[in-house]
Amino acid sequence: MDERIAAESIRPIIVELIQKDHPEFDQTKFLSLTELNDYREKYISNYLAREVGELTELDTKVISSIGDHSIINDNTDDEDDDSKRTMEERVADNVASFGGSWTFILSFLGFLVLWILLNAFLLLNRGFDPYPFILLNLILSCLAALQAPIIMMSQNRQSAKDRSRSKEDYMVNLKSELEVRALHEKIDHLMLYQQQELIEIQKIHWPI
């Protein structure tokens, strides 16, 4: 009884949907808020099916969130939580972060200069890696061969996170559009309902 809602205060389009299942339902009847939310969810499902065709998993999730008045996603930073990343993912992210920084560039440049100075000048080109620095070339080749796939792993993870955020943005935008549309319909219905009440009151006080 605490949740009961009069049929006359419900939007006509929802009333028509209810009457398909319960033909006896008219303006004198009542229903609970839970039942009304179920039919609102059903109306939104039918509306989306007409507009976009077959409902996707994202559309279904949006409809469900509207029905139970929940937030689509309130944990947008969970993907960046270190506790949820595997050791391989953390290594890939750290290598990609360090490999794309000025610290790495300057440090590696200094390493190359020291290597060349040590072997070409201090050891008079008779050191452990004389000119043309075959060992240095081997180290550089191995570094490039290992660094490239690690950076690609990190980029793939970032792409996956970007796709996830894009899906969330789509669901938020879709839910906002449906909520605004429903709000407009509610306001139009309330205005019409109030106008009818005013007309009835005027008829009572000033009968023609």
For residue 166, is it within any domain?
Answer: no
Question: Is 155 found in the same domain as 88?
Answer: yes
Which range of residues forms the domain containing residue 35? 5-73+172-205
Question: Is 191 found in the same domain as 150?
Answer: no
For residue 165, is it within any domain?
Answer: no
Question: Is 139 found in the same domain as 90?
Answer: yes
The whole-model pTM stands at: 0.47
d(CA 61, CA 51): 17
Question: Is 141 found in the same domain as 93?
Answer: yes
What's the structural domain count of the chain?
2
Residue 73, token pair as written in the block: 């996603």
Question: Is 189 found in the same domain as 154?
Answer: no
For residue 196, is it within any domain?
Answer: yes
Is-contact 107 98, C-beta < 8 A? no
Task: Give the tens place of pLDDT for each residue, 163-179.
Answer: 888 888 888 888 887 77
Question: Is 66 found in the same domain as 17?
Answer: yes
* Between 125 and 203, the higher pLDDT residue: 125
Question: Is 188 found in the same domain as 148?
Answer: no
Percent of the chain with pLDDT over 90: 3
Is-contact 40 67, C-beta < 8 A? yes
Question: Is 66 found in the same domain as 33?
Answer: yes
Query: What would you measure as the largest C-alpha separation in the chain, in angstroms?
Result: 118
